[in-house]
Chain A
């Protein structure tokens, strides 16, 4: 119950910001739906490493979605989820809140959008593909927005990692393998006392 109240509190914040609402009726639907969904994760498998931001449920959703969207081999891809977890931890609170809402809506949207009895992480891979393609090609702007966000997170989680680069022929950053010195001497920042000495209020 407390989770539901907290979710509704977050919904109010987002409604005030009018962000998803701008995506039209679909935005309202997604917001209302996301706010009343359960957020517990007792039915989700533990993750091999401690998570910094994501719950086990959110971790399962983004990891499985990334594997399907990017067409990766069906083997477990915990690395992707852990990487995304670290990135999301660094984002501003508003973006973090929206990420959580999005992942919850994707997990339970099967009931609303596809009338399926099973949640996303319980679907077979072909069912997951059909479901996610539905988001990608939806006539509702809010669903397309969420698909874009999922794809971006998936791309960050997979293609930012050096293990992915060989397969696409990208040789990676110069930093660490090509040494080039800069001619420019950057100014060292100074302590507050120096600033106060120059411009402190007299």
Chain B
């Protein structure tokens, strides 16, 4: 069942076997597994419970509704906008449905370098398949790719770059193209339409609009969760206390460490909030001679992985190229240029296409905590990542020209235009500076790192805290490195694995 928080008129105290913090990819997956195994489960979600009728396909309405801090959260120097879903279903609700399996080399790297036996591809494959089935992830057919995706396909094939049609968790898609604003027609296999209702049917209780303030512990073991309802019938603030034998933390790689810190949980290795990877994203925009209408159809329908060189020891480096596009406000915000030149470019909106870059970053950021608000996200792209990003912008430009682009616009503040194929020096001349280009992060990772070695991590190989018994973490915080691909499927897979571990060891955790 899902609580209507408008009926809360008093402080609330609940008893459950498990309290899950966060209802996104990790939280919902773990909650469903545990509820279906017969455990009483409470899910506490910071954001509201929205249904398809609430997804009105308007940018100015949906961005503030779906994202933490109204969509304005950023790194401390504002060089990277950090989007975190804040709604029942989490970031899966405004996702583009792109499902990419965790690469074998990355899993092997985690297994070897971070002392995590049992996290290799073969070991996690059954959980992965289970998740893919639950969310309806299937490979897209070539004819499903929209015109913007077809440009990436054409250009990369022309240049001989390796790519693939990815899995998407969508079914009966109408091609309206409003995925990033939540699906009005329930055609996504996001958490809101799959795992959350399944968890609820299995007896889980979902509490939306409730901010977790503290995980309570006693003698090194979790006792429960304390929070505050942000809506109520009385208009007053009412407290929530959940007494639970197991707590599963799944509030995302920015918010989970915040809760950890505010709860004053032990951090003997001083690792909480460290090792942050932002998996930065930026888009190169191209002008084509014919209409592309990139906002229509199925987005992110083709992936170029030619430039992802992964390694079982170092995790490797590189980036993915993925077709990306947006509606007018978002495009106008990132489109370079000023004044009349910007307006004239906007009048060509139907002829614009874009290739997104997802950078497998090695830059290590960190969180600086503030007891009165969200943590400061400190992250300055550096090392070889800058060079990789420049290279990616050049490759994305090259693919755009190979697909027939007349011009390519680099994602800087000022209008930096590439007029013809093969002349990319402007990219290197301009370089990378803080906030220029503006980077986006949809999938922060790594801030409660997983490893078998407690001296360099926060949780062990099944996501259980080294220093607090019965506390598990199941979001992208646990990734030891960037996972190098969109994180959703990996998060759900590892969360399922953690839940199965808890179920298999019920006597230890619930006895």
Contact = CB atoms under 8 A, between A and B. Distances in A.
A199 B16 contact: yes
Interface stretch (B64-72, B161-169, B494-502): B64-72
B59 A160 contact: yes
Interface in B77-115: 77-79
Nearest to A155: B332
Interface stretch (B130-138, B245-253, B257-265, B335-343): B335-343
Interface in A90-116: 90-92, 94-95
Contact of A199 (B14, B52, B72, B344): B14
Contact of B200 (A16, A184, A187): A187
Contacts of A132: 338
A41 interface: no
Interface string A171-187: 00111001010111011
Interface stretch (A32-40, A42-50, A54-62, A188-196): A188-196
Interface stretch (B211-219, B399-407, B428-436, B473-481): B428-436
A192 B3 contact: yes
A157 to B, nearest CB: 9
A200 interface: yes
Interface string B274-301: 0000000000000000010001000000
A169 B2 CA distance: 41
B2, B8, B178, B346 interface centre (most CB from chain A within 10 Å): B346
A156 interface: yes
Contacts of B434: 23, 141, 144
6 contacts: A22-B77, A141-B433, A151-B333, A152-B333, A178-B176, A189-B49
Interface size range on A against B: 35 or more
Contacts of B344: 71
A192 B12 contact: yes
Interface string A14-42: 00111101111001000000000000000
Given A160-B60, A190-B1, A195-B205, 5 more contacts: A19-B76, A23-B435, A141-B79, A183-B186, A199-B42
A12 to B, nearest CB: 12
A168 B13 contact: no
A199 B343 contact: no
A168 B370 CA distance: 43
Contacts of B193: 184
B387 interface: no
Nearest to B49: A189
Contact of A189 (B2, B14, B76): B2
Given A152-B333, A160-B60, A189-B3, A19 B15 contact: no
Interface in B178-208: 178, 184-186, 193, 197, 200, 203, 205, 207-208
A186 B52 contact: yes
Contacts of A22: 75-78, 376, 378
A137 interface: yes
Contact of A170 (B76, B327, B368, B438): B327
A55 B314 CA distance: 54
A114 B70 CA distance: 33
A180 B77 contact: no
Given A129-B339, A174-B178, A92 B70 contact: yes
Contact of B78 (A87, A145, A198): A145
Contacts of A178: 176
B161 to A, nearest CB: 30
Contact of A192 (B8, B42, B368): B8
A72 B343 contact: yes
Contacts of A190: 1-4
Contacts of A198: 1, 203, 205
B504 interface: no
Contacts of B7: 191-193
Nearest to B434: A141
B413 interface: yes
A168 B345 CA distance: 9
A6 interface: no
Contacts of B341: 71
B383 interface: no
B51 interface: yes
B346 A69 contact: no
Contact of B373 (A94, A136, A167, A192): A94
A91 B64 contact: yes
B1 A187 contact: yes
Nearest to A93: B373
Most buried by B among A69, A191, A199: A199
A155 B64 CA distance: 15
Interface string B365-388: 000101001001010000000000
B60 A18 contact: no
A170 B434 CA distance: 32
Interface string A128-160: 010011001100010011011101101110111
A180 B64 contact: no
Contact of B72 (A91, A160, A201): A91
A174 B373 contact: no
B340 A17 contact: no
A69 to B, nearest CB: 6
Contacts of A167: 346-347
Contacts of A194: 1
A200 B3 CA distance: 13
B44 to A, nearest CB: 12
A202 interface: yes
Nearest to B350: A169
Contacts of A156: 59-60, 329, 333
B9 interface: yes
A173 B57 contact: yes
A160 B329 contact: yes
A71 B342 CA distance: 7
A94 B338 CA distance: 28
B48 to A, nearest CB: 10
B269 interface: no
B329 A159 contact: yes
Interface in B1-57: 1-5, 7-10, 12-16, 40, 42, 49, 51-52, 56-57
